Amino acid sequence: SQELEQSPQSLIVQEGKNLTINCTSSKTLYGLYWYKQKYGEGLIFLMMLQKGGEEKSHEKITAKLDEKKQQSSLHITASQPSHAGIYLCGADMRTGNQFYFGTGTSLTVIP
């Protein structure tokens, strides 16, 4: 069952443009994580959000958590080709130590 849905599924943007990726959970979020994956490679941890309203930034990437909506958004400002890859949200499901991933968003940045 897919408990974490990401949108859009794929995104193609011109370099320099801003973009937003959303992650929506069907269950209560206890911790929401964002990862990036270059094609064919391992996962890179970006950031973790735990509290409603929390917002974190890393370089040009900002993530927010809306606990009431069970949703998180990842915003990239002034995108660069180095931002290209697959972005995955992940969440703790406290019922039993499980950690699940969202459906993923593939980002292409055109120079």
Partner 1 sequence: DAMVIQNPRYQVTQFGKPVTLSCSQTLNHNVMYWYQQKSSQAPKLLFHYYDKDFNNEADTPDNFQSRRPNTSFCFLDIRSPGLGDAAMYLCATPRTGPAGGYTFGSGTRLTVV
Tokens 């980002």 correspond to 107
For position 100 contacting partner 1 by CB under 8 A, the verdict is yes
Distance in angstroms (rounded) separating the CA atoms of residues 74 and 61: 7
13 contacts partner 1 (rule: CB under 8 A): no
Given a contact cutoff of 8 angstroms between Cβ atoms, the answer to whether 76 and 84 are in contact is no
SS3 label, residue 81? helix
Say whether residue 103 binds partner 1 (CB under 8 A).
yes
Query: At its nearest, how many Å lie between partner 1 and the CB of residue 21?
Result: 13
Q: Which of 43, 54, 66, 77 binds partner 1 (CB under 8 A)?
A: 43
Options 42, 51, 68, 111; binder of partner 1; rule CB under 8 A: 42
Which structure tokens are listed for 84? 């290209």
Residue 96 touches partner 1, criterion: CB under 8 A: yes
Q: Which residue has the tokens 């949703």?
A: 71
Determine the Cα–Cα distance for residues 64 and 98; give it in Å rounded to an integer: 22
Q: Interface with partner 1 includes 101 (CB under 8 A)?
A: yes
Binding stretches for partner 1 (CB under 8 A): 31, 33, 35, 40-43, 45, 47-48, 50, 88, 90, 96-104, 106
